[in-house]
């Protein structure tokens, strides 16, 4: 049975509901319950870890028996495991739901399999409705499921001859206003923004995401890596989120801890030393290189040692897009060995 027009509308609504939920260790999921005639009976979404999943949230708004013969439209395959809450597939079966339409398969080895459980119970199941939109909504969570860590974007700005600053260390501004506005839009799409203590001490960045002088509604959590102390009056300490500090050079330990905190996407723009360290550690899923038509010369390279002793060991990239931004050019790329990295993550 093909997806009906009422079910398509319900999926669009379920995606809107899903976006109201918090980004974190659990995916954002929305659900709409339809009567056999296609009328909306109830809506729900996942409000965060430990709260009812979207399907159960929607079912909780109905009287017992009201969902019998109904259709559940959900943005992610109903789960099939017991964690802090019970399996949603079983909740739908027990409620008497006759049909389930969902967008994306659950990739979890433990949580997946809900569709099969539903079918075995006699529920008609359709998958793939508006899958692209659902993927775009939770792409960070999907990457975290696949990699076991956040999706990591490494960004830098450089002159045409590959310098991040003039020889005296001054770097504001290599790129123009269009490129800087693009950076802020991408910051706003990330869960965390990462710099080193060297950048904090040299530039005193606020690490906020701004649209002109106005803060974007979503702000990335500021993360500072390094052993040198951050001054009490540093701008980063006035960020809307409390900064997270790591006194370590173990980047894998850092991203593991961020993952445990529910961070799904990381935006690294901490200067040449930190950017090079992430690339050398094979922790760059996407590269954003903003190139300005200016020559600086000197020693201040945009990247330093990334562990490439010869041309045979070069880090090869696949270009996803060349994006003109005023007089500047943005190269959006991913490591050539990570064939699907460009399809996932929030850069």
| Catalytic residue flag (residue 55) | yes
Spot the catalytic one: 55, 77, 129, 344.
55
Cis peptide before 173 (omega within 30 of 0): yes
**Cβ count near 333 (within 10 Å):** 19
* Strands 214-215, 71-76: pairing kind: unpaired
Place of tokens 């399999």: 113
Contact between residue 152 and residue 347 where contact means Cβ atoms under 8 Å apart: no
* Strands 30-34, 71-76: pairing kind: antiparallel
Q: How far is CA 72 from CA 41, 65, 117, 134, 190, in A?
A: 10, 14, 15, 16, 31
Size of the chain in residues: 347
Q: How far is CA 232 from CA 221, 226, 240, 245, in A?
A: 18, 16, 16, 13
Name the residues annotated as catalytic: 55
């Amino acid at each position: 049975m093909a997806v009906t027009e009422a079910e398509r509308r319900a999926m669009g609504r379920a995606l809107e509901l899903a976006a109201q939920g918090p980004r974190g260790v659990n995916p954002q999921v929305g659900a709409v319950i339809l009567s056999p005639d296609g009328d909306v009976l109830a809506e729900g979404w996942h409000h965060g870890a430990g709260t009812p999943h979207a399907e159960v949230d929607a079912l909780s708004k109905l009287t017992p028996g009201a969902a019998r013969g109904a259709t559940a439209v959900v943005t992610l395959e109903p789960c099939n495991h017991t964690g802090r809450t019970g399996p949603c597939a079983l909740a739908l079966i027990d409620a008497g739901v006759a049909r389930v339409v969902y967008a994306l398969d659950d990739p979890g080895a433990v949580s997946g399999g809900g569709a099969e459980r539903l079918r075995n119970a006699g529920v008609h199941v359709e998958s793939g409705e508006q899958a692209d939109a659902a993927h775009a909504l939770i792409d960070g969570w999907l990457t975290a499921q696949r990699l076991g860590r956040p999706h990591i974007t490494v960004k830098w700005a450089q002159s045409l001859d590959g310098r991040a600053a003039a020889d005296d260390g001054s770097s504001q501004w290599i790129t123009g206003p269009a490129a800087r506005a693009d950076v802020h839009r991408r910051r706003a799409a990330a869960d965390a923004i990462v710099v080193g203590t060297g950048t904090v001490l040299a530039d005193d960045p606020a690490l906020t995401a701004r649209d002109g002088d106005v803060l974007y509604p979503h702000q990335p959590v500021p993360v500072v890596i390094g052993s040198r102390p951050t001054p009490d009056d540093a701008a980063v300490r006035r960020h809307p989120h409390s900064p997270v500090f790591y006194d370590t050079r173990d980047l894998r330990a850092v991203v593991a801890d961020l993952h445990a905190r529910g961070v799904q996407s990381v935006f690294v723009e901490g200067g040449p030393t930190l950017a090079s360290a992430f690339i050398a550690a094979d922790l760059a899923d996407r590269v954003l290189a903003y190139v300005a038509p200016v020559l600086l010369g000197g020693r201040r390279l945009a990247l330093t040692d990334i562990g490439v002793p010869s041309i045979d060991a070069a880090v090869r990239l696949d270009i996803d897009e060349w994006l003109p931004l005023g007089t500047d050019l943005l190269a959006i790329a991913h490591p050539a060995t990570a064939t699907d990295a460009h399809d996932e993550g929030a850069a």
